[in-house]
Amino acid sequence: MRAAVRRVLDPLLPVEHFTKSDRRIVFVIWVAGVVQGFAQSQASASLPFTREGLGLTEGEMSLMLGLARLAAFAALPLGWLGDHRGRRKPFLLAMTFIVAGGALAGLVAEAWQFGLFHSLLRTGTAAVSGLAIVLLAENSSLRIRAYAISFYGAAVSFGSGIALMILPLAEINWRIPHLLTALGFVLLPFLIRNVPESEIYLAEPDGGHWGELVKGQWSRRFWIVVAVGFMASAYGAVGAAFSTERLINHVGVSTGTTVIVLLVGGTLGGIGFFVGGHLADAWGRRKTSVMALLMALVGGITLFSVTSLPLIVMAVMVSAFGTFAFVPAGGSHRAELFPTTLRSSANTASSNGALAGSAFGLIIGIYTIDTFGLTNTMLILGVGLLVAAGLTLLLPETRGQDLTAISADRR
């Protein structure tokens, strides 16, 4: 009986036991991930109410959210600092940007002010998304690296779930959910005390140069990683931003039922974090990433095509499973593709590439959503997700990669 239970649970468990050090870094970054997820999800979770409160159309809201993501390229210097001054300080600065930008967005009087503070928040999320992966990869045991990263993804998702749960507060006043982001200031002292410096960075503190990534020996890997993140996020951003809009205003589902549908489907799909982490550690980063991208594609297209609530719940679950499984598989892959001297810059740039992709998806929504509808927009962007899956196959498999042993002859 015990053996049968173990076989059932095995895909959800790490391939090796966590050490005390593994548990510590995972918990600290998990706390940061919850704050990040809660803050960055407010704009999409409460989109129908925030949009109406700011007096914007669907297309205009899409444009503003897209421009905010483009402004987040200000995170690139934080990635550079991560390679030249250590991972810890830029990570903590980025967390401060997230909390401040999210809270201030609830105090604005004009739409452009909301866009400005949302840009500050997105700058923080771009940097944290890259640096959190690097800190986890460089401070956790080799055999459970992807699984450790899955906890960060799960934390961001958990924070997003909390943002969704308080959606009814947005019906009272759209500002309330944004203002609640200020609670993150309570957790910043904990992060300041407990976020460690990367052990691998301390052993090799001389940072590299952007030219090595953009046009040097690591450029092929770099541009493929950026392209995959760009196209995956172009698809995912529109789906995430307009899921509540789709259910409430297009399908006619009540706000309360929308929350239940998205939470149930998202929670069931949440096992994708741990299955994805397990498979990435046991099976490989590349194959797991491709599987995850294709599941996200199928689930997303179904969500924006059907009106049956059971099918919608299933679609949310499949889409969430794929999206979540890609976090540990793709995150560990990105960290292992680059040397220590470039890892922070490469991962932060990858996060910015993903934000640029989400900006692209939201900005073209100005022309496609209001004209052709959400479903056709998702179909168009889904082609890019197929291309992203194909490009992932061009990258080398890195499962078992020693992060201190990457050299130019392995590019």
Nearest to 286 by CA among 135, 386, 389: 389
Report which listed range, 64-73, 258-267, 276-285, is most confident: 276-285
DSSP tally for the chain: helices H, then strands E: 22, 0
Q: What pLDDT is stored for residue 112 in this prediction?
A: 85
Q: Assign 3-class secondary structure to 239-275.
A: HHHCHHHHHHHHHCCCHHHHHHHHHHHHHHHCHHHHH
> Does position 407 have pLDDT exceeding 60, yes or no?
no
Q: What pLDDT is stored for residue 408 in this prediction?
A: 42
Nearest to 85 by CA among 345, 303, 279, 350: 345
| Tens digit of each residue's pLDDT (9 = 90 or more) over 9-22 | 567 678 788 999 99
Distances (CA, A) of 251 to 98, 258, 303, 390: 33, 10, 11, 33
Q: What pLDDT is stored for residue 3 in this prediction?
A: 54
- Residue 66 or 154, more confident: 154
> Does position 411 have pLDDT exceeding 80, yes or no?
no
Kindly report whether the global pTM for this prediction surpasses the value 0.75.
yes
Q: What pLDDT is stored for residue 69 in this prediction?
A: 75
Q: What is the mean pLDDT of residues 36-64?
A: 84
Q: What pLDDT is stored for residue 241 in this prediction?
A: 74
Q: How far apart are CA 336 and CA 14, in angstroms?
A: 19
| Tens digit of each residue's pLDDT (9 = 90 or more) over 281-307 | 999 999 999 999 999 999 999 998 888
Q: Domain spans of the chain?
A: 18-410
According to CATH, the topology of domain 18-410 is: Growth Hormone; Chain: A; (1.20.1250)
